[in-house]
């Protein structure tokens, strides 16, 4: 009989995941483990009976990186770790492939995993808490025209940028929106918050890496088109035009299996990171 008692599923709202969910249910039945579904606000898909995240030993995200983010937030509120399973996704957070889910569950049951702390970004707008980001928080223009963003670190002005806005990423989230906008990837073991301007019009504003103990401030000057705030890609209710962003060392927890590939290996395998064409030619010549 397994020492585990309850698993909590967080599922993709539309993707074909029935086979993976059935494999999880079969494994759980064979090991005497109950399975429920952790409700996510705004998602109507129900595959098993609901369960509270706090009543689970750990959560299993079945989908892509977006599903994993939902599970990490739900797990953070209940102090529960998350095993993220990729179903047709090339994401970074979903380290377990769908066909390996049974082996992954066996490893977790056997204790062959590490509970890896996941940092977060605490977001405050005009002295009011807005939320916590696992990947990133962005202020972006909502219509025609540029927005102006003054970026400050510990009350020191770094730069004032005019363009589409700016994105602040965690070390884990540095390979998502921030990377797409030209920001650096923070390798495992590197810490800090990356601030990357979005399509800045003129000036010299390279991405900035701030330390974990710093406080960032984004002061937004509106254009006639307006702006919006997004936390992990979801719209957030931002009151006023100033965001204050601080780092939280261990907001959530992600399960890393004993035989899991490194994050950089995953980026290369998924071809998110590609070698220069000249290296491929040289490899062919050797």
Active site residues: 65
CA proximity to 266, closest of 25, 92, 104, 120: 92
Contact 62, 14 (CB under 8 A): no
Tokens describing residue 237: 């209710």
Residue 3: CB atoms within 10 A of its CB come to 9
Residue-wise DSSP of 65-101: HHHHHHHHHHHHHHT--EEEEESS---SS--EEGGGH
Distance CA 77, CA 52 (A): 11
| Burial label, 89 (beta-carbon count in 10 A; 0-12, 13-18, 19+) | buried
Contact 167, 135 (CB under 8 A): no
Tell me how long the chain is.
Answer: 286
Distance CA 245, CA 124 (A): 6
Tokens describing residue 260: 């899991």
Contact 205, 186 (CB under 8 A): no
Distance of CA 51 to the CA centre of its chain: 23
């Amino acid at each position: 009989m397994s020492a585990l008692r309850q698993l909590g599923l967080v599922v993709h709202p539309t993707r074909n995941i029935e086979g993976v969910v059935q494999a999880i249910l079969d494994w759980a039945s064979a090991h005497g483990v109950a399975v429920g579904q952790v409700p996510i606000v705004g998602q109507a898909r129900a595959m098993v009976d609901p369960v509270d995240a706090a009543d689970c030993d750990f959560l299993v995200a079945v989908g892509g990186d977006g599903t994993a983010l939902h599970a990490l937030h739900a797990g953070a509120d209940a102090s529960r770790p998350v095993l993220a399973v990729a179903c047709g996704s090339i994401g970074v957070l979903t380290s377990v492939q769908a066909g390996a889910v049974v082996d992954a569950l066996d490893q977790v049951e056997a204790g062959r995993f590490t509970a890896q702390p996941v940092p977060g970004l605490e977001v405050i707008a005009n002295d009011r808490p807005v939320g916590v980001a696992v990947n990133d928080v962005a202020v972006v223009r909502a219509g025609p025209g540029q927005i102006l963003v003054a970026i400050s670190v510990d009350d020191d002005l770094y730069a004032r940028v005019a363009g589409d806005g700016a994105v602040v990423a965690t070390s884990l989230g540095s390979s998502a929106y921030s990377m797409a906008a030209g920001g650096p990837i923070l390798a495992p073991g590197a810490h800090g918050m990356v601030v990357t301007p979005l399509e800045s019009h003129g000036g010299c504003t390279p991405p900035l890496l701030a330390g974990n103990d710093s406080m960032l401030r984004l002061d937004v000057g509106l254009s006639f088109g307006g702006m919006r705030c997004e936390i992990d890609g979801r719209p957030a209710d931002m009151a006023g035009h100033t965001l204050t962003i601080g780092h939280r060392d261990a907001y959530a927890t992600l399960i890393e299996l004993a035989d899991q590939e490194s994050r950089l290996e995953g980026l290369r395998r998924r071809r998110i990171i590609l070698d220069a064409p000249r290296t491929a030619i040289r490899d062919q010549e050797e």
